[in-house]
Amino acid sequence: MATVTLRGIQKNFKETEVLRGIDLAIADGEFVSLVGPSGCGKSTLLRIIAGLESASAGAIEIGGAPVDGLRAADRNLSMVFQSYALYPHLTVAENIAVPLRMRQLSAAQRLPLIGRAMPGAAEQNREIDARVMEAARTLEIDGLLERKPGQLSGGQRQRVALGRALVRSPAAFLLDEPLSNLDAKLRVHTRTEIAELHRSLAATFIYVTHDQVEAMTMSDRIAVMMGGEILQCDAPARIYEDPADLRVAEFIGSPR
Ligand code: ADP
Ligand code: MG
């Protein structure tokens, strides 16, 4: 796992300033939530960290190394979206294995001997199966490996998406409102599971939500964003007891 450091991240879409200089240093193993009203720039910031979008200015380091020139696939981060984007025609096991298959494929493409069998392919496949099984056990979906996504509940699907994130042993997890498609009861349950996953992996998590309660219960620190800026980043209790600014107090204190 790794530290994530953001320095002066700015983003403009045409004339619109969406991020106005984001500075944030996330410790190794820390769980940081980004909260704020819809449209404040949370998803854009996460996508920039993931390498799915480029920043207009600023720098990002992961594990102390700059990643600004690296493509998403080379940043070793796992992103989980609100829509789980599972492949409907693949089984749960195959869905979880996707990131490892992609890695296998890109390694094969780098081999000069096109058309020949990959050296150690059978061994690699066994390794992939073992890692898929381990991720599935962690998320308690090892009984569902042969099913297709259409045969799963919403909560199970979300766990498959988490399994796919887990299997690649990323430097950090980036989650963008992963619970917002679940009903209220399942949301509480899955939130507890994500918190447990964080504890057991001691992994770095950046977790986007517009739900203050969710952020409050899961996070080491909460970054409150508004209008493309971080107004305050502090431990949950601190945010509640000592909001830096009236806008923070209003957002945190407002019922959903
Ligand atoms: P949040 O996730 O906090 O709801 P977003 O990061 O999705 O906010 O969006 C922040 C702002 O940037 C919004 O005003 C949105 O309309 C704008 N925006 C996001 N993506 C694009 C894009 N590709 N082109 C133009 N504007 C965008
Ligand atoms: Mg968003």
**What average pLDDT does this structure show over 53-59?**
97
Q: Residue 26's pLDDT is what?
A: 98
Contacts 24+ apart (CB under 8 A), 134-141: 134/167, 135/96, 135/163, 135/164, 135/166, 135/167, 136/92, 136/93, 136/96, 136/163, 138/163, 138/166, 138/197, 138/200, 139/163, 139/166, 139/193, 139/197, 141/92
Q: Residue 215's pLDDT is what?
A: 93
Gyration radius of the chain over CA positions: 19
Q: What does the pLDDT look like over 1-39, one tens digit per residue?
A: 689 999 999 999 999 999 999 999 999 999 999 999 999
* pLDDT band with cut points at 50, 70 and 90 for residue 211: confident
**What average pLDDT does this structure show over 179-185?**
86
CA atoms within 13 A on the CB side of 211: 15
Q: Residue 135's pLDDT is what?
A: 94
Q: Which two tokens stand for residue 16?
A: 């619109």
Q: Which atom of ligand 1 is nearest to the CA of 53?
A: 23
Q: List the residue whose alpha carbon is closest to atom 1 of ligand 1.
A: 39
Give residues (CB < 6 A) around ligand 1: 13, 18, 36, 38-44
Q: List the residue whose alpha carbon is closest to atom 5 of ligand 1.
A: 41
Q: List the residue whose alpha carbon is closest to atom 24 of ligand 1.
A: 13
Q: Which atom of ligand 1 is nearest to the CA of 45?
A: 6
pLDDT at 152 over 70: yes
Q: Which ligand is nearest to the CA of 225?
A: 1
* pLDDT band with cut points at 50, 70 and 90 for residue 114: low
Q: Residue 1's pLDDT is what?
A: 67
- ipTM metric: 0.98
* pLDDT band with cut points at 50, 70 and 90 for residue 81: confident
Q: What does the pLDDT look like over 213-251, one tens digit per residue?
A: 899 999 999 999 999 999 999 999 999 999 999 999 998
- From the CA of 45, how far away is ligand 2's center (Å)? 9
Q: What does the pLDDT look like over 219-228, one tens digit per residue?
A: 999 999 999 9
